[in-house]
């Protein structure tokens, strides 16, 4: 018998398993998942055992030298997962394997120490069985999921439920069934640090069987959690995207809450989507997958319509609490003011009643730019070709991509005119406007700067939830998870800043965001109200959000996807070709584009300069592969990239199923 060993080092020509013989001493110990030292060429290298074979591929096989660690770091099932990941997302095998390896043993880990100890202490509470009497709709959903869990079939459910309809209760009751079968459940949320309330609810119900994987656990704590999960001591795993790789020995249920969120997509190789990984795992473990949302992604809803997923609907909020009425203000008629009179008045009324308000800015539109009134040029980053944003606290222009900062120029860099103006609606500017109308009100700003000053998201949220501020001003981060009874007004400062972006998901993102922020108002006994300001109030994404009409939005959006042949009617792979040497990038992009077009005469778009044409000093070209069969696209890309020369200084980035095109 021979061992298949994958080197820890990631590089193109060694991204496969090599065969080694096994000495007498190692014979009884060696398992899949062991980290070993092997001779490689003239050197010694560290690798992982990923399998065993009867026949070696070469006649002269060398012995594994020794075990590097005594405990295996992953299982055979996890190797299968990593293989699938590497193939599906066109990444290195070892990069995919790193995702499933216990923390602190493979790649380097970032360490951040937060309020962890407190939270752990809290999670050591005893469980109370406190299941709620389900509503009729909940009961239908719970029974369907339980039946699938009991049968042990890999079925996917879309739990389509409006905000506040009791989806979390459905998850928890399904988990009870999984626990009774002795299996583990993985519950994924978009941002675990933004959902402390959810963690508390789970701890209150399940006590010690929980492992909450926060991003700011230390390596030691992470290892401990990993250990508790793999031993089966912790059978309920709560976490963000990467928790999908938690080493639960037997998975019975995986939940993705708010499954449409962008944060489920990893932004470095392997660029996986947690939903697709969960789908693979569910098949591997014969587990049930529940995708929960009030605003499912278009792909997910389409799959449910096609019968691929079973759809469960929670159409009403608990206690029949109404969804808040949404009013719309046409900014074209607001006289150039950032806050319309309707929104000002609503703010004043809300604060006068002792209630709380949230003002929300779309992240893409919340910056202040320096622009020349004479020629229209904005002051751009020399490395990235995107507009610098003005930070009034430091009186500097800063690049939000690469960190470059400079003093504002006294004249326009293009035409030399001295009429530079500062445009845009930054959170700081909104804060000032609100302070002018409500001088007595306590304002809380939530953005990168204020988070840096005040320490953490959690602290800002806790301050607001405790009623120590009247108005919270922030970007879409404030849309996530916040559940404060006293919030009765949500104002969206400008709803449409994302609609102008050249991305097939712009409308979907806009709709989801608006629906989500609207869901922050009037969640409990006080009735809520939402005011959306927009320059394009007639847009169907905004109209549908006003009416809380997901289905109406879906029906229009799916037609547009069909017309333009975008997902779910096609698959996409984005290839980014970047270099500090503009000529090199351009030449390589042209060559790759041509070779791809020869392989696939239809379905290659580009090469074209990327939406952000220069980033961190690199010129970027993009080629988009589009087609019905993802496997055909993948193979074409693999063949072409395998056959071309890759000069040094050229960086290629492959994104399979990109979430956006910019
Ligand atoms: P969602 O996850 O759909 O936004 P939640 O699960 O947070 O909704 O439920 C909203 C509120 O309703 C929570 O405070 C929850 O405790 C309560 N709730 C859920 N199900 C029930 C039920 N069957 N009976 C009474 N209250 C419920
Ligand atoms: Zn920059
Ligand atoms: Zn100018």
DSSP 481-536: S---TTEEEEEES-S-TTTTSS-TTHHHHHHHHHHHHHTTSS-SSS--EEEEEES-
pLDDT at 337: 77
- CB under 8 Å to 296, separation ≥6 — which residues? 158, 160, 259, 260, 304, 550
Question: Residue 478: CA atoms inside 13 Å, Cβ hemisphere, count?
Answer: 32
Please state the atom number of ligand 1 nearest to the C-alpha of residue 201: 16
Beta carbons of 55 and 2 less than 8 angstroms apart = yes
* Closest ligand (CA of 378): 3
pLDDT at 118: 36
Give residue limits of the domains in the chain: 2-98, 113-318, 321-368+424-560, 571-656
Query: For the residues 421-442, what does the mean pLDDT come to?
Result: 83
3-state class (DSSP) for residue 162: coil
Which of 47-56, 232-241, 404-413 comes out lowest in average pLDDT?
404-413
Q: What percent of the chain has pLDDT over 70?
A: 90
Q: What CA–CA distance (Å, rounded) separates 241 from 357?
A: 30
- Residues forming beta bridges with residue 53, ordered by sequence position: 2
**φ/ψ (deg, to 5) at 475:** -90, -165
Which of 117-126, 204-213, 448-457 comes out lowest in average pLDDT?
117-126
Please state the atom number of ligand 1 nearest to the C-alpha of residue 483: 7
Higher pLDDT, 494 or 493: 493
478 CA distance to ligand 1 middle (Å):
20
Q: Which two tokens stand for residue 460?
A: 């800002």
Helix ranges (DSSP H) in 466-605: 506-518, 540-546, 550-564, 582-599
Please state the atom number of ligand 1 nearest to the C-alpha of residue 162: 3
Q: What CA–CA distance (Å, rounded) separates 646 from 425?
A: 44
**Nearest CA owner, ligand 1 atom 19:** 166
Strands 35-40 and 66-67: antiparallel
Confidence band of 366 (pLDDT split at 50, 70, 90): very low
Query: For the residues 144-158, what does the mean pLDDT come to?
Result: 96
pLDDT at 453: 62
**Nearest CA owner, ligand 1 atom 10:** 164
- CA-CA-CA-CA dihedral for 552, 556, 562, 566, to nearest 10: -90
End-to-end CA gap in the chain? 49
* Closest ligand (CA of 524): 1
Q: Answer whether the bond into residue 568 is a cis peptide, omega within 30°.
A: yes
Q: What CA–CA distance (Å, rounded) separates 330 from 342?
A: 11
Query: For the residues 581-596, what does the mean pLDDT come to?
Result: 95
3-state class (DSSP) for residue 521: coil
pLDDT at 151: 95
**φ/ψ (deg, to 5) at 32:** -60, 135
503 CA distance to ligand 3 middle (Å):
29
386 CA distance to ligand 2 middle (Å):
7
Asked if residue 227 has pLDDT above 80, the reply is yes
Confidence band of 109 (pLDDT split at 50, 70, 90): very low
Domain 2-98: state its class: alpha beta
**φ/ψ (deg, to 5) at 558:** -65, -30
Kindly indicate whether the domain formed by 113-318 is annotated with CATH number 3.40.50.300: yes
pLDDT at 431: 86
Q: Which residues line ligand 1 (CB under 6 A)?
A: 132-135, 138, 161, 163-169, 318
387 CA distance to ligand 2 middle (Å):
9
Question: Residue 294: CA atoms inside 13 Å, Cβ hemisphere, count?
Answer: 26
Q: What CA–CA distance (Å, rounded) separates 330 from 321?
A: 28
268 CA distance to ligand 2 middle (Å):
19
Which of 25-39, 234-248, 602-616 comes out lowest in average pLDDT?
602-616
Q: Using the 8-state DSSP alphabet, how is residue 265 labeled?
A: B
Find the largest Cα–Cα distance for the chain.
84
411 CA distance to ligand 3 middle (Å):
8
Q: What CA–CA distance (Å, rounded) separates 533 from 495?
A: 6
pLDDT at 112: 32
372 CA distance to ligand 3 middle (Å):
5
Query: For the residues 92-118, what does the mean pLDDT come to?
Result: 63
Which of 404-413, 517-526, 594-603 comes out lowest in average pLDDT?
517-526
Q: Answer whether the bond into residue 270 is a cis peptide, omega within 30°.
A: yes
* Closest ligand (CA of 411): 3
Asked if residue 627 has pLDDT above 90, the reply is yes
Q: Using the 8-state DSSP alphabet, how is residue 103 labeled?
A: T
Please state the atom number of ligand 1 nearest to the C-alpha of residue 161: 3
The CA-based angle 353-355-361, given to 5 degrees, is 125
Residues whose Cβ atom is located within 5 A of ion ligand 2:
381, 383-384, 399, 401-402, 404
376 CA distance to ligand 3 middle (Å):
6
In a mutational test of the pocket of ligand 1, which residue from 318, 520, 521, 524 has the highest number of ligand atoms less than 8 Å from its CB? 318
Q: Using the 8-state DSSP alphabet, how is residue 322 labeled?
A: P
pLDDT at 250: 95
Q: What CA–CA distance (Å, rounded) separates 400 from 380?
A: 11
Q: What CA–CA distance (Å, rounded) separates 269 from 96?
A: 8
Highest mean pLDDT: which range of 74-83, 199-208, 447-456, 539-548: 74-83
pLDDT at 450: 66
- Residue 348's alpha-carbon distances to 437, 439, 489, in angstroms, are 8, 10, 11
Q: Answer whether the bond into residue 67 is a cis peptide, omega within 30°.
A: no
Beta carbons of 10 and 39 less than 8 angstroms apart = no
Cα 70 to chain centroid, rounded:
35
Strands 529-534 and 487-492: parallel
608 CA distance to ligand 2 middle (Å):
21
Q: Using the 8-state DSSP alphabet, how is residue 289 labeled?
A: E
CATH topology of domain 321-368+424-560: Rossmann fold (3.40.50)
* Closest ligand (CA of 379): 3
pLDDT at 425: 64
Q: What is the pLDDT of residues 251-284, one digit of tens each?
A: 999 999 999 998 899 999 999 999 999 999 999 9
Q: What CA–CA distance (Å, rounded) separates 211 from 271?
A: 25
259 CA distance to ligand 1 middle (Å):
18
pLDDT at 423: 66
| Cβ-based burial of 76 (10 A; exposed 0-12, middle 13-18, buried ≥19) | middle
Q: What is 571-656's CATH number, 3.60.15.10, 3.40.50.880, 3.30.70.600, 2.60.40.3500? A: 3.30.70.600
414 CA distance to ligand 3 middle (Å):
5
Asked if residue 365 has pLDDT above 90, the reply is no
Confidence band of 500 (pLDDT split at 50, 70, 90): low
Task: For the chain, give the mean pLDDT.
Answer: 87
Q: Which two tokens stand for residue 122?
A: 């809290």
**Nearest CA owner, ligand 1 atom 6:** 166
* Closest ligand (CA of 388): 2
Q: pTM for this structure?
A: 0.87
Query: For the residues 23-41, what does the mean pLDDT come to?
Result: 93
**Nearest CA owner, ligand 1 atom 15:** 166
Q: What is the pLDDT of residues 509-534, one digit of tens each?
A: 889 988 888 877 777 777 789 999 98
Nearest to 557 by CA among 602, 486, 506, 593: 506
Q: Which two tokens stand for residue 397?
A: 């222009």
384 CA distance to ligand 2 middle (Å):
4
In a mutational test of the pocket of ligand 1, which residue from 128, 166, 312, 484 has the highest number of ligand atoms less than 8 Å from its CB? 166
Write the DSSP assignment of 36-71 as a string of letters. EEEEETTEEEEEEEEEEESS-SSSSPPBP-EESSSS
Identical fold at 113-318 and 321-368+424-560?
A: yes
Please state the atom number of ligand 1 nearest to the C-alpha of residue 134: 23
- CB under 8 Å to 340, separation ≥6 — which residues? 329, 331, 334, 531, 533
3-state class (DSSP) for residue 187: strand
Question: Residue 49: CA atoms inside 13 Å, Cβ hemisphere, count?
Answer: 33
Nearest to 287 by CA among 134, 121, 150: 150
pLDDT at 510: 87
The CA-based angle 293-297-299, given to 5 degrees, is 130
Q: What is the pLDDT of residues 531-550, one digit of tens each?
A: 999 878 888 999 999 999 99
In a mutational test of the pocket of ligand 1, which residue from 136, 168, 517 has the highest number of ligand atoms less than 8 Å from its CB? 168
Please state the atom number of ligand 1 nearest to the C-alpha of residue 318: 12
pLDDT at 363: 55
Nearest to 171 by CA among 268, 264, 258, 55: 258
**φ/ψ (deg, to 5) at 94:** -70, -30
**Nearest CA owner, ligand 1 atom 4:** 164
């Amino acid at each position: 018998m021979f061992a298949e060993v994958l080197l820890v080092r990631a590089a193109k020509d060694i991204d496969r398993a090599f065969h080694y013989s096994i000495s007498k001493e190692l014979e009884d110990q060696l398992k899949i998942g062991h980290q070993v030292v092997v001779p490689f060429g003239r050197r010694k290298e560290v690798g992982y055992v990923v399998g065993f074979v009867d026949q070696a591929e070469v006649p002269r096989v060398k012995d594994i030298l020794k075990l590097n660690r005594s405990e295996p770091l992953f299982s055979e099932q996890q190797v299968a997962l990593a293989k699938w990941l590497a193939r599906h997302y066109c990444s290195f095998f070892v990069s995919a394997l790193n995702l499933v390896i216990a923390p602190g043993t493979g790649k380097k880990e970032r360490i951040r120490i937060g309020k962890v100890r407190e939270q752990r202490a809290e999670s050591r509470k005893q469980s109370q069985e406190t299941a709620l009497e389900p509503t009729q709709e909940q009961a239908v959903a719970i029974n369907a999921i339980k039946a699938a869990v009991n049968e042990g079939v890999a079925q996917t459910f879309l739990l389509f439920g409006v905000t506040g309809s009791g989806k979390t209760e459905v998850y928890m009751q399904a988990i009870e069934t999984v626990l009774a079968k002795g299996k583990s459940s993985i519950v994924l949320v978009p941002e675990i640090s933004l959902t402390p309330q959810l963690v508390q609810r789970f701890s209150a119900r399940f006590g010690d069987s929980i492992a909450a994987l926060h991003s700011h656990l230390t390596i030691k704590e992470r290892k401990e959690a990993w250990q508790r999960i793999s031993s089966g001591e912790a059978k309920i795993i709560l976490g963000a995207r990467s928790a999908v790789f938690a080493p639960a020995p037997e998975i019975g249920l995986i939940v993705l809450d708010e499954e449409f969120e962008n944060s489920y997509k990893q932004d470095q190789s392997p660029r996986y989507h947690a939903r697709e990984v969960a789908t693979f795992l569910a098949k591997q473990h014969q587990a049930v997958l529940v995708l929960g949302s009030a605003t499912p992604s278009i792909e997910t809803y389409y799959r449910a319509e096609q019968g691929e997923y079973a759809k469960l609907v929670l159409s009403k909020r608990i206690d029949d609490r109404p969804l808040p009425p949404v009013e719309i203000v046409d900014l074209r008629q607001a006289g150039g003011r950032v806050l319309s009179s309707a929104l000002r008045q609503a703010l004043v009324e809300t604060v006068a009643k002792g209630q709380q308000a949230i003002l929300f800015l779309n992240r893409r539109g919340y910056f202040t730019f320096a622009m020349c009134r004479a020629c229209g040029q904005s002051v751009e980053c020399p490395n990235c070709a995107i507009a610098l944003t003005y930070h009034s606290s430091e009186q500097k222009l800063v690049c939000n991509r690469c960190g470059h900062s400079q003093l504002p120029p006294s004249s326009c860099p293009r035409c030399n005119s001295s009429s530079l103006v500062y445009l845009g609606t930054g959170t700081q500017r909104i804060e000032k406007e609100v302070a002018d109308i409500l001088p007595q009100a306590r304002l809380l700003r939530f953005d990168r700067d204020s988070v840096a000053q005040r320490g953490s998201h959690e602290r800002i949220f806790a301050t607001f939830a405790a009623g120590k501020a009247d108005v919270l001003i922030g970007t879409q981060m404030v849309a996530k998870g916040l559940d404060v009874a006293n919030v009765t007004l949500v104002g969206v400062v400008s709803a449409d800043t994302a609609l102008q972006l050249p991305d097939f998901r712009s409308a979907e993102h806009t709709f989801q965001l608006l629906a989500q922020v609207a869901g922050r108002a009037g969640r409990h006994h006080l009735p809520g109200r939402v005011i959306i300001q927009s320059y394009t109030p007639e847009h169907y994404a905004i109209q549908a959000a006003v009416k809380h009409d997901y289905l109406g939005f879906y029906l229009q959006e799916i037609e547009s996807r069909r017309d333009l042949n975008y997902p779910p009617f096609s698959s996409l792979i984005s290839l980014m070709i970047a270099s500090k040497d503009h000529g090199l990038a351009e030449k390589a992009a042209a060559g790759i584009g041509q070779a791809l077009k020869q392989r696939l005469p239809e379905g290659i778009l580009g090469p074209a300069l990327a939406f952000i044409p220069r980033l961190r000093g690199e010129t970027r070209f993009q080629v988009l592969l589009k087609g019905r069969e993802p496997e055909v696209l993948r193979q074409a890309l693999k063949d072409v990239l395998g056959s071309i020369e890759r000069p040094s200084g050229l960086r290629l980035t492959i994104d399979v199923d990109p979430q956006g095109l910019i």
